[in-house]
């Protein structure tokens, strides 16, 4: 009885472990996968930190326009009697009171009035850099959307290849059974039957490779989406039908100019650099501030000061600017030149990218028609060859070759459609509209 109970417990544990290790299946459309990939992207978390950093820089720039208020105080004990020589008329200069402690405090207020525009330009420049950081994040979202689409496409192609190969393997195994019976009845030679078996083995190897590719693609997809890597993703086959209406190349170039976030980010950086140049010029100008202060001191038996309030206007100017060249100004102008050249280069690259992906999309769509025609021809060729073989007019080698060509052609149609859908998404990425389609 004890052995039976132990067996039951072991069986229950085995079932529990098996259920825990079982893969969870999850149906995802391509758009759902893209949203999930963006939501869980680690790159976007880095971008969020960069936005926080730029926002902190903006806060620092704004703080420069606020008043500065500093308070200080000190207490000192004097263990030795200091020598005090008072030179005031009518007051004895030597001897003086015994001083053993000193306490004093002060408060200073400074309110900026004029700084040559350094504060204003700094704030405006920081605002542009915050916007540039946000636009960089949007640009990264577009890149992530395409990476997810590419992984989704690979998963779809691997899955479809498995389906085709499984169907052909099943047919090939049934054919092997038939040929074995025919060999046993002396209708075909053993060599012909072995050729058919070899064809079946080749299909099995192709199926193993396809399943391996599928498992790798599935794990890659899980990691990309930020979900458990034991999740088996079921793809939506309807996505391969998108991208039917292709507009003119000029339409996509104009769309890219309006929507590319990296181009917009670069424009914000150029505006920030222009303000940086103005701020650098202001370094040669004086600064004016309203100042105020309060001082209190207490030296027992000698001196007490209270309510020593002062107000005024302070002017600050670095005289070394008269003979030193403004290096900040030169650096800022060089930065503007770099960004201008980068903007020109990026515009050229956008034209090239859009034209290339437009041609690739058109080419991919034309490939579908060619592969479909090839598949029709391969299927018809196999049917004719099979009839010939059944009537003794074709060899076993011809039949197996026709079967292999049929498999390759049918898989080719599926891959061509998937590649065309991905090419269309790549075209949308170059226009910066992939996440808004």
**Tell me, which fold does domain 35-83+101-436 have in CATH?**
Outer membrane efflux proteins (OEP) (1.20.1600)
Q: What is the mean pLDDT of residues 386-413?
A: 85
- Who contacts 258 (Cβ-Cβ below 8 Å, separation ≥6)? none
pLDDT of 164 above 90: no
pLDDT of 5 above 50: no
Rg (CA), the chain: 40
Task: Please tell me the predicted confidence (pLDDT) of residue 244.
Answer: 62
Q: How many CB atoms within 10 Å of residue 93?
A: 10
pLDDT of 324 above 90: no
From the list 285, 273, 280, 321, the residue with the least C-alpha distance to 112 is 285
Q: Residue 34 in contact with residue 435, Cβ under 8 Å?
A: yes
Where is pLDDT greater, at 11 or 188?
188
- How far from 21 is each of 24, 214, 229, 275, CA to CA, in Å? 9, 19, 11, 59
Task: Please tell me the predicted confidence (pLDDT) of residue 165.
Answer: 86
pLDDT interval class at 9 (50, 70, 90): very low
From the list 96, 103, 36, 45, the residue with the least C-alpha distance to 73 is 103
Contacts from 69-72 at CB under 8 Å and sequence distance 24+?
Answer: 69/107, 69/108, 69/109, 69/110, 70/107, 70/108, 71/105, 71/106, 71/107, 71/108, 72/105, 72/106, 72/107
15-29, 194-208, 232-246, 321-335: which range is least confident on average? 15-29
How far apart are alpha carbons 152 and 145 in whole angstroms? 10
SS (H, E, C) the chain: CHHHHHHHHHHHHHHHHHHHHCCEEEEECHHHHHHHHHHCCHHHHHHHHHHHHHHHHHHHHHHCCCCEEEEEEEEEECCCCCCCCCCCCCCCCCCCCCCCEEEEEEEEEEEEEECCCHHHHHHHHHHHHHHHHHHHHHHHHHHHHHHHHHHHHHHHHHHHHHHHHHHHHHHHHHHHHHHHHHHHCCCCCHHHHHHHHHHHHHHHHHHHHHHHHHHHHHHHHHHHHCCCCCEEEEECHHHHHCCCCCCCHHHHHHHHHHHCHHHHHHHHHHHHHHHHHHHHHHHHCCEEEEEEEEEEEEECCCEEEEEEEEEEEEEECCHHHHCCCCHHHHHHHHHHHHHHHHHHHHHHHHHHHHHHHHHHHHHHHHHHHHHHHHHHHHHHHHHHHHHHHHCCCCCHHHHHHHHHHHHHHHHHHHHHHHHHHHHHHHHHHHHCCHHHC
What average pLDDT is seen over the chain? 85
How far apart are alpha carbons 371 and 418 in whole angstroms? 12
Q: Residue 300 in contact with residue 106, Cβ under 8 Å?
A: no
Q: Residue 74 in contact with residue 298, Cβ under 8 Å?
A: no
Q: Where are the domains of the chain?
A: 35-83+101-436
Q: What is the mean pLDDT of residues 208-237?
A: 89
From the list 437, 237, 49, 265, the residue with the least C-alpha distance to 41 is 49
pLDDT of 391 above 50: yes
Q: Residue 389 in contact with residue 402, Cβ under 8 Å?
A: no
Q: How many CB atoms within 10 Å of residue 417?
A: 23
How far apart are alpha carbons 57 and 340 in whole angstroms? 24
pLDDT digits (tens, 9 = 90+) for 254-289: 999 999 999 999 999 999 999 999 988 888 888 889
Task: Please tell me the predicted confidence (pLDDT) of residue 15.
Answer: 40
């Amino acid at each position: 009885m004890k052995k039976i109970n132990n067996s039951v417990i072991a069986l229950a544990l085995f079932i529990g472990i098996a259920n825990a290790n079982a893969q969870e299946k999850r149906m995802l459309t391509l758009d759902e996968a893209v949203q999930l990939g963006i939501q869980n992207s680690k790159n976007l978390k880095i971008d969020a930190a960069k936005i926080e950093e730029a926002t902190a820089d903006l806060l620092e720039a704004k703080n420069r326009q606020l008043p500065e208020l500093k308070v200080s105080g000190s207490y000192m004990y004097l263990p030795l009697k200091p020598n005090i020589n008072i030179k005031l008329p009518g007051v004895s200069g030597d001897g003086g009171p015994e001083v053993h402690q000193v306490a004093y405090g002060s408060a200073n207020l400074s309110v900026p009035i004029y700084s040559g525009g350094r504060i204003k330009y700094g704030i405006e420049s920081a605002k542009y850099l915050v916007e540039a950081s946000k636009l960089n994040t949007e640009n990264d979202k577009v890149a992530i959307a395409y990476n997810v689409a590419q992984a989704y496409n690979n998963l779809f192609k691997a899955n479809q290849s498995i389906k085709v190969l499984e169907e052909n393997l099943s047919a090939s195994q049934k054919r092997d059974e038939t040929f074995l019976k025919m060999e046993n009845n002396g209708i075909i030679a053993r060599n012909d039957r072995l050729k058919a078996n070899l064809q079946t083995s080749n299909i099995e190897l192709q199926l193993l490779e396809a399943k391996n590719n599928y498992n790798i693609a599935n794990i890659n997809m899980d990691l990309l989406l930020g979900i458990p890597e034991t999740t088996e993703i079921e793809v939506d086959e309807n996505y391969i039908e998108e991208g039917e209406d292709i507009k003119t190349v000029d339409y996509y170039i104009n769309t890219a100019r309006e929507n590319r976030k990296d181009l917009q980010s670069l424009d914000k950086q150029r505006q920030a650099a222009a303000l940086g140049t103005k701020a650098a010029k202001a370094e040669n100008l004086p600064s004016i501030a309203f100042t105020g202060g309060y001082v209190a001191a207490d030296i027992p038996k000698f001196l007490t000061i209270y309510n020593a309030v002062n107000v005024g206007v302070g002017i600050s100017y670095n005289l070394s600017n008269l003979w030193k060249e403004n290096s900040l100004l030169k650096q800022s102008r060089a930065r503007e030149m770099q960004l201008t050249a980068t903007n020109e280069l990026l515009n050229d690259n956008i034209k090239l990218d859009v034209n290339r992906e437009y041609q690739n999309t058109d080419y991919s769509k034309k490939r579908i028609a060619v592969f479909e025609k090839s598949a029709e021809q391969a299927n018809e060729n196999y049917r004719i060859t099979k009839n010939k073989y059944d009537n003794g007019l074709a060899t076993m080698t011809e039949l197996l070759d026709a079967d292999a060509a049929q498999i390759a052609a049918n898989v080719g149609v599926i891959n061509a459609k998937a590649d065309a859908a991905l090419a269309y998404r790549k075209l949308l990425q170059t226009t910066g509209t992939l996440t808004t389609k």
